[in-house]
Amino acid sequence: VCSSNKAMSIVEENPTAAVPSPLVRRGTSVNFDEGQTQDDCTECKRSLTVVVIGASGDLAKKKTFPALLALFDQGLLPSSLSIVGFARSKFTQSEFHAKIQPFLKGDEDVVAKFLSHVHYFSGAYNDVESFGNLAQELEVREANSSLLSAANRMFYLAIPPSIFADVIQGIDAKARAVNDGWTRLIVEKPFGRDTDSFHELNNVVAKHFNEHEIFRIDHYLGKELVQNLMILRFGNRIFEPLWNSNHVQSVTISFKEPFGVEGRAGYFDNFGIIRDVMQNHLLQILCLVGMECPASWAADDIRDEKVKVLKCIRDVDMDDVVVGQYGASADGTKKGYLEDPDVPSDSKTPTFAMAVFHIDNARWHNVPFMMKCGKALNERKAEVRIQFRHAPPPLFPGLARNELVISVQPDEAVYVKLMTKQPGLGMKLDQKELDFSYKHNFDEKTPEAYERLIYEVTRGEHSLFVRGDELDYAWQIFTPFLEKLEKVKPETYQYGERSLASADELARKNGFERSKYSSMR
């Protein structure tokens, strides 16, 4: 039951107000209110400096800079903008532009104009004076471009956690925004690899930055359909009466990739699929499916409800966990995980995992939440599948179950599987889908996750970012069974398989039915 009528009344009186923070139309800028122009926007009169730490790495080139370009092209960044790439590599500005330009897609003139705002600074991550020198350069640029005395600074840490401490210390000591400008820090996962390492990392960040200055990215929270989960649940009255253990048999949250760890084996072997995907992306989705209605769209109201879910998750039973590791493909064209030169020959790191979670509260008592993720499987897919209980007898014994499926990727869609009569004189039933596809219903381009998340940082909006206590409770859930899994040898599965037979059996034991309904009379 919704804990407050406030959010629902907002939806009823003004449907557009229910959307937490939509991207505004092309040609507007950050923090505009309805009817406001750029001349009226105080925030837009301040310069914004975005410093990308680790600018020469893959994450920055493939995700961060393309997202900044998209926001720039839509007019969603202040006109007084400076983007500075910071890394150890010795590049001239033109050499750095040449490094990132292949990843910047779009109109050539727009890309050229964007690159005119992009600069490069070479420095050492572990040298405080490097950040002092960086700050001097930033102050010169801001003094030349800012329309107001205050200038804002955003630091995007596209670097491994092992060097967070030095970088965060350097930013705090030397490179914070001056005068009344804000300083915001974007931190990428992984946020540790267990409870202890998370606490160690979080203590470093908290020592130098306040929680309101920290934006911990889980890019799945920036995906359109993940955001739409709250709208789907709390903006459509038909779902709330069914969203509980009286009607829901099981919830399955799946993530599948058709490729292995090519190029990432060194990183991946230290973390594995559970830490890489399940503990963050899939757990965040579980929280959004399982949480109660927040009191408002305020970031902390939403995150408070997610924390309540995490507190209710019981300890995971090892009988409810399956782990696998991919071998070579059937035709031999794809090598197995252990054949990768960067993977130890005796590695027990799972590339596939399934685990069953239970939320011990009144709404979800005895409903299994099954999370399943894997690499080198048969397709690229991420979805939430809510399977409802059987329709009561006696009219239609043995009917297939209704399902609500929320497809996150590759195609964004929501569809319901339901029973219907086939046309004709007989009473033949079949299961069909009511399909709501985004690409067939909306003309607007769906923003990329990083595009949306960086935009939200400029607005100071935290609802799509992970709070420190969320991560603490998440690691308390996962650390105990991750430690036990270190001694477990994963099952081997062929590259390109759909799933593991043991995972299918675990799903069946927890009440999931995988079957296509057969017509009956």
Q: Helix (H, G, I), strand (E, B), or coil: what is residue 23?
A: coil
Tell me the pairing of strands 321-329 and 352-358.
antiparallel
Q: Which helix (H) or strand (E) holds 370?
A: strand 368-374
Q: Helix (H, G, I), strand (E, B), or coil: what is residue 82?
A: strand
Q: What angle is formed at CA 74 by the lines to CA 68 and CA 76, rounded to 5 degrees?
A: 65
Strand ranges for 218-320 from DSSP E: 248-256
Cα Rg for the chain, rounded, in angstroms? Answer: 25
Amino acid 65 reads: F
3-state helix, strand, coil in the chain (%, to 5): 40, 20, 40
Q: Which of 137, 130, 58 has the alpha carbon at shortest distance from 99?
A: 58
* Calpha distance 168→11 (Å, rounded): 41
Q: Which helix (H) or strand (E) holds 81?
A: strand 81-87
Tell me the pairing of strands 151-157 and 81-87.
unpaired
**Is 281 assigned a catalytic role?**
yes
Q: Report yes or no: 519 and 422 within 8 Å, Cβ to Cβ.
A: yes
* Calpha distance 85→118 (Å, rounded): 7
What φ, ψ does residue 308 adopt, rounded to 5°?
Answer: -60, -40
Q: Report yes or no: 159 and 52 within 8 Å, Cβ to Cβ.
A: no
Selected catalytic residue, list 117, 119, 219, 281: 281
C-alpha dihedral over 506, 508, 512, 513, to 10 degrees? 150
Query: Which residues are designated catalytic?
Result: 281
